[in-house]
Structure 1
Amino acid sequence: MMSPCDCFLHATAPPLNPPSSLAAAAPGARWRDSNLSFQSSAVSAPARNVETSPNLVVPCTVHTQAAERKKSGRWVKYGGSIPAMLEALERNEDIGEALRPWRDTMSNRERTIILKEQKDWRRAVEIFNWFRRRRRHEVNVIHYNVVLCAVGRARRWDLVARLWHEMHSGGVAPDNSTYGTLIDVHCKGGRERMALLWLGDMIKRGLLPDEITMSIVLQVHKKAGEYEKAELFFKRWSLESDVKMKGHPCYSLYTYNTLIDTYGKAGQLEKVSDTFNQMLREGVSPNVVTFNTMIHVWGKHRRMEQVASLMRTMEEFQCLPDTRTYNILISLYREINDIDVAEYYFRKMKAENLLPDVVSCRTLLYGYSIKGMVTEAQALLKEMYERNMVIDEYTQSAVTRMYVDAGMLEQAWRWFEKFNYQLNSECFSANIDAFGERGHILLAEKAFMCCIKRKMLSTCVCNVMIKAYGLVEKLDEACEIADGMERYGILPDYLTYSSLIHLMSTAKLPEKALYYLRKMQAAKLLIDCVPYSVVISCFAKNGNLHMVNCLFREMITSGIQADTYVYSILIDAYAEVGDVQKAEAYFGLLKKAGLCESATIYNSLIKLYTKVVYLAEAQKTYKLLKSLNADTNLYASNCMIDLYSDHCMVKEAREIFENLKVTGKANEFSHAMMVCLYKKIARFDEAHRISKEMQASGFLTQALSYNSVIQMYVSGGRMEDALKIFQKMLASNTPPNDATFKALKIILVKRGVSNNDIRRLELLRKNRIHDCLRHWYRMLCMAVRSGGSSSRRISDNSALRTHIFDIGNSKNGKRNTRKHVTS
């Protein structure tokens, strides 16, 4: 049976089905006011160099069934002959025949209303053309505005351009409503930039946008994230309006809501409050849209006390929250992981007879999923099923992850299978990642195979599968995924190669990492120094400094600039081998490139100068490190203590050590180096005090620390204290090393143990006899307690010889020794 990777690599590649590029539908338009000032929310204007057609003829496809509809009373409000005209047009497709009775008496107002009442833009254009062909039927700017609105909403930009050209040819001057309509329809049709061009033309003609058009332009800039432009436009418009109206204009509720939303998205919370307060001062009562916008703005900035205050203000204004209000609240509290409050508003929504919609349920379900609240999520899912609500792909993947994280793998797979036939590529990626992140590679592979069968394979899906294999260290399978992508008509991207390079580097396979770097290079995907830095770091850890240097030069030659991290790798690599010249050369290149020195680089330099004992350079670098706006690194401080210890510079070392203690950063190495320093200058009382601090703080755990303290006590002639520390070392299962035994040998020599006996002990250690430590410890005990007595020494030597021949013969001996060591 072939593995998923085999299937992926060797199966016949499916034919490519390029997705059709369908334009997203924009929200439907609405009439801006009842007196036909057709100026809606628009954002972009078409160019005017469009080929024009002499006859603007559009076939109308109104079905004959339309004439059979019941007469409606909706036209009665117009009075006069208008209802009869509209009914005649509905009954008869022939416009001339339908309007015959009123052909010579029809007014401009009647023509305007007839055009406005057409539900089909094609019928409106057909009637408009009929009017144009009749000499007695004048076509004015209002008629053009109505037809422009109709064809603009239908997104027939070619007809919009032709109508515009025809207006100019016929000498019909556009007015504010014309431009407002053009701006509106282009904005709602997703052509924001073109709407701004129309705005520019409007201003050139000396026409001032009305308030509605101004609000639409604000929406355009807000949607594009151009908040400064929005504010500047509003200020200019306000000044011009003040001059024209000879006083401060009173803005509408819609304008205030737009301003609040714009300032909110720009993060200008003070202006949000000022606008809201100005609105109240001018007597404009906020509506639910106002409060929803304010709640969303403050909530997004995590100002939940303001959110609660706004809810109370809503009650004061007797403005009832709607479904959107509660959806915003549920979403905001879910985002700050306060699922209890989100759940509270969900219940309150129901209590106020507002039925939660699909957004409410999905938002709360997502919150339950990421919090791992399985029981609550299942109860909500049941409610959603009962109400025939659709689970979207993103909520589906969150529930999959919830089951996986809870260890409910069977439920997770059933849930995935239930939806896999309706998942898109992105959601397949999320589901595979849910299985892969927890190491359930078999389920991840099964989901991956489902994706292939559904022909939903994408670069993102492959990248997630590569990640899953990397997490379980299946590097060959990860490589096979990358190698098989082209068979399915998809190409590896930057993330694909970066992931593989990282995996190979983590596995200490620099040659493999370099191979994928070369493939990335060939695909022209190398856009920064990050992949190079990973490969360089891998070679540096392997000690291959030749490749490190070559790769750096190659990177620079290819035009990719190194960042601070790359230089830190290079400097640290040469610091490890003590190459001062190379390390300082790269440090010079770093400064020449104008890059900021980092604490990491200074640490590497201090490590280098400590290794080669360059005191002055280390002091200068440490001073630079302290000048950075960051806490001085513990590693660098310990290096300086070590260096000062070598030079017996007590004052400087103690200053750093005390600072570390004050900040709570002093560690075991800091204390051990201070013990070494005080030992060197024979200040054994100070060394003994620090040794006690180490033991009290639990800083006596490493062989280096034990050795420092033992050596200090041996140098000070305190053999019993040294023996006690060795006893602690054995009790903590810290293996002694050569430095330990070197110090212990001094004790034996000073206590008069013969060279032959010492050689026997060293032979035991050299041959790695399993209980040699027991014999070393017994000999040390007898030597220390003998106090130099010759008779005692003889008996000790005899005891040693006896024990050497008795190694491993007695279980009781082992038990007694262990008891003695830990006592």
Structure 2
Amino acid sequence: MLCTLARARKWDLVESLWTEMNAKGVAPVNSTYGTLIDAYSKRGIKEEALAWLQTMQSQGIEPDEVTIGIVVLLYKRAGEFQKAQEFFRRWIRGAPFRLGVDDKLVSHTNVCLSSHTYATLIDTYGKGGQFRIACETFTRIIRQGRSLNTVTLNTMIHLYGNCGRLRQACLLFQKMGEFRCVPDTWTYNILISLNIKNNKVKLAAKYFARMKEAFIKADVGSYQTLLYAYSTRKMVREAEELIQEMGKRDLEINEFTQSALTRMYVESGMLEQSSLWFKRFHLAGNINSDCYSANIDAYGERGYTLAAEKVFICCKEKKKLTVLEFNVTIKAYGIGKCYDKACQLFDSMKKFGVVADKCSYSSLIHILASADKPHIAKSYLKKMQEAGLVSDCVPYCVVISSFTKLGQFEMAEELYKEMLRYAVQPDVIIYGVFINAFADAGSVKEAINYVNEIRKAGLPGNPTIQVDSIIR
């Protein structure tokens, strides 16, 4: 009954039933506390779960293996791996659980735990960075002659792979038959993911094929992982074959993989396919803000400014515009040398209720400065300063460098002085810009002044600064 009420999240009724138990003299046992701890833990109510554990300990009830596993899992879910390990070791040592009482220790060092408990422990040790202890625990299972199950082996395969021991992970997979364990979908998904992580896509594909040969049904995760790998590596034929399979099984492609596929087509020069692919998901309403920005960026980085602009308009139609879409579209305009459009888009952000961030300003300033438009860049730098988004001298350096490149030293120095008035500290790079610019112009006195400024500031030298040539 407690379990049923907890699953329904009827916490008041849980406590009411607990009170009724006490009133009627029904003593709770291990499984009672285990049920309560597990129920609260699974629903993310960690403090309440730990309160039930404390109540159990205060009653002097020694947890059995099942309850131990539940508590270890509780700590693991909360990311408190050290506490999970300490709790388990305390039980193994036979340390008393009744608070304030020095009972005789009852050691559990020779106890044979269940496969489920071992799997929980191995996973806890692994996630807690205790790889050696996890391996020792696994060895103990084998030494005790305990029957292994697929869950435990999956955990070890995953652990080996994440610790850079892919060969051992694959060997353990091959030995599953010796342990009388049958690989499941999760086994193959782990191996597919690990091989892709190690850039062994062909081997990952072989495990995928092997899974189907063994009549083990690949789930959407199996397909998504492999499809994303194909997309990011521009393996068009393989990706399209997988898409067809997914279509036959009515498996959905998530929006992140969709963005990767659009980028694959763009980078492969298949613009028509990329457009059709994007429209399919856009019209279905299956794209979020992050993925719109990823699609814009895919086109923008390759110089397909008009296509990037169309995706931005699609996002606007769906009313999903955020600062991300503005930033990547401004970047796309910069790459496409559409400087006026970049400024117009930036200026329109307020109209859409979007506030420009540091990236918005930095990107536009860099675009304009690189295009030899420091006067326009300077106006946006001033707005950035007024918005309180200037945290270092980098944006100033970009504009100053643009002024010096055009030989407008007076404007560059004026901006430098403005920077100092705002208490923004110069670095060796900004000094280097002045020194090299004045040196190239033959203005030795001015260049030396900035060399002296570097020394006064106690900044380290920069190999790109022409100090030696100036002194000679």
Letter in 2 for 1:503: I
User: Which residue of structure 2 lines up, in the alignment, with residue 488 of structure 1?
Assistant: 352
Q: What is the alpha-carbon distance in structure 2 between the residues aligned to residue 337 and residue 384 of structure 1?
A: 23
Deviation of residue 306 (structure 1)? 1.2
User: Which residue of structure 1 lines up, in the alignment, with residue 448 of structure 2?
Assistant: 578
Deviation of residue 397 (structure 1)? 1.4
Q: What is the alpha-carbon distance in structure 1 between the residues aligned to residue 69 and residue 343 of structure 2?
A: 54
User: Which residue of structure 2 lines up, in the alignment, with residue 342 of structure 1?
Assistant: 204
Deviation of residue 519 (structure 1)? 3.8
Q: What is the alpha-carbon distance in structure 2 between the residues aligned to residue 505 and residue 166 of structure 1?
A: 75
Q: How does 1:76-87 map to 2 (within 5 A)?
A: none
Letter in 1 for 2:40: H
Deviation of residue 167 (structure 1)? 6.3
User: Cα 1:486–1:171, aligned 2, differ >3 Å: closer, same or farther?
Assistant: farther
1:574–1:583 contact (8 Å) kept in structure 2:
no
User: Which residue of structure 2 lines up, in the alignment, with residue 551 of structure 1?
Assistant: 419
2:34–2:67 contact (8 Å) kept in structure 1:
yes
Taking structure 1 as the reference length, the TM-score comes to: 0.50
Deviation of residue 206 (structure 1)? 4.3
**Larger-gyration structure (1/2):** 1
Deviation of residue 516 (structure 1)? 3.9
User: Which residue of structure 2 lines up, in the alignment, with residue 281 of structure 1?
Assistant: 143
User: Cα 1:417–1:604, aligned 2, differ >3 Å: closer, same or farther?
Assistant: closer
Deviation of residue 389 (structure 1)? 1.6
Letter in 2 for 1:450: C
- Aligned mate of 2:44, from 166, 184, 190: 190
More displaced, 320-329 or 461-470?
461-470
Question: SS of the counterpart of 1:283?
Answer: coil
Q: What is the alpha-carbon distance in structure 1 between the residues aligned to residue 71 and residue 420 of structure 2?
A: 51
User: Cα 1:303–1:443, aligned 2, differ >3 Å: closer, same or farther?
Assistant: same
Task: Provide Cα deviations, 1:158-179, integer angstroms capped at 9, x if missing partner.
Answer: 4445555666788877554443
Task: Provide Cα deviations, 1:264-319, integer angstroms capped at 9, x if missing partner.
Answer: 22333222211111121222222111121122222223322112221222132132
Question: SS of the counterpart of 2:170?
Answer: helix
Q: How does 1:146-225 map to 2 (within 5 A)?
A: 146-147=1-2, 149-161=3-15, 163=17, 176-225=30-79
Q: How does 1:494-533 map to 2 (within 5 A)?
A: 494-525=358-389, 528-529=391-392, 532-533=393-394
User: Which residue of structure 2 lines up, in the alignment, with residue 612 of structure 1?
Assistant: 471
Task: Provide Cα deviations, 1:143-170, integer angstroms capped at 9, x if missing partner.
Answer: xxx33x2222112344445555666788
Deviation of residue 235 (structure 1)? 2.5
Deviation of residue 257 (structure 1)? 0.9
Task: Provide Cα deviations, 1:708-732, integer angstroms capped at 9, x if missing partner.
Answer: xxxxxxxxxxxxxxxxxxxxxxxxx
Q: How does 1:586-605 map to 2 (within 5 A)?
A: 586-587=457-458, 601=461, 603=463
User: Which residue of structure 2 lines up, in the alignment, with residue 393 of structure 1?
Assistant: 255
Task: Provide Cα deviations, 1:322-351, integer angstroms capped at 9, x if missing partner.
Answer: 111111111222222222111111111111
Task: Provide Cα deviations, 1:215-235, integer angstroms capped at 9, x if missing partner.
Answer: 333334334433333333333
Letter in 1 for 2:142: L
User: Cα 1:449–1:258, aligned 2, differ >3 Å: closer, same or farther?
Assistant: same
1:505–1:534 contact (8 Å) kept in structure 2:
no
User: Cα 1:171–1:582, aligned 2, differ >3 Å: closer, same or farther?
Assistant: farther
2:93–2:106 contact (8 Å) kept in structure 1:
no
Consecutive unaligned residues of structure 2, counting only runs of 5 or more, are 97-103, 437-446
Q: What is the alpha-carbon distance in structure 2 between the residues aligned to residue 516 and residue 159 of structure 1?
A: 60
Q: What is the alpha-carbon distance in structure 2 between the residues aligned to residue 235 and residue 307 of structure 1?
A: 27
Task: Provide Cα deviations, 1:17-75, integer angstroms capped at 9, x if missing partner.
Answer: xxxxxxxxxxxxxxxxxxxxxxxxxxxxxxxxxxxxxxxxxxxxxxxxxxxxxxxxxxx
1:176–1:207 contact (8 Å) kept in structure 2:
yes
Letter in 1 for 2:50: L
User: Cα 1:474–1:211, aligned 2, differ >3 Å: closer, same or farther?
Assistant: farther
Letter in 2 for 1:239: R
1:252 aligns to 2:104 (yes or no): no
User: Which residue of structure 2 lines up, in the alignment, with residue 801 of structure 1?
Assistant: none
CA RMSD of aligned residues (A): 3.0
Q: What is the alpha-carbon distance in structure 2 between the residues aligned to residue 330 and residue 390 of structure 1?
A: 19
Q: How does 1:338-487 map to 2 (within 5 A)?
A: 338-420=200-282, 421=284, 422-487=286-351
Q: What is the alpha-carbon distance in structure 2 between the residues aligned to residue 510 and residue 266 of structure 1?
A: 52
Question: SS of the counterpart of 2:139?
Answer: helix
1:298–1:307 contact (8 Å) kept in structure 2:
yes
2:368–2:377 contact (8 Å) kept in structure 1:
yes
Task: Provide Cα deviations, 1:450-492, integer angstroms capped at 9, x if missing partner.
Answer: 1111222222222222222222232332233333233233333
Letter in 2 for 1:272: A
User: Which residue of structure 1 lines up, in the alignment, with residue 441 of structure 2?
Assistant: none
1:322–1:354 contact (8 Å) kept in structure 2:
yes
Deviation of residue 408 (structure 1)? 0.8
Question: SS of the counterpart of 1:447?
Answer: helix
Consecutive unaligned residues of structure 1, counting only runs of 5 or more, are 1-145, 557-561, 591-596, 614-823
More displaced, 302-311 or 231-240?
231-240
- Aligned mate of 2:162, from 294, 297, 300: 300
1:535 aligns to 2:396 (yes or no): yes
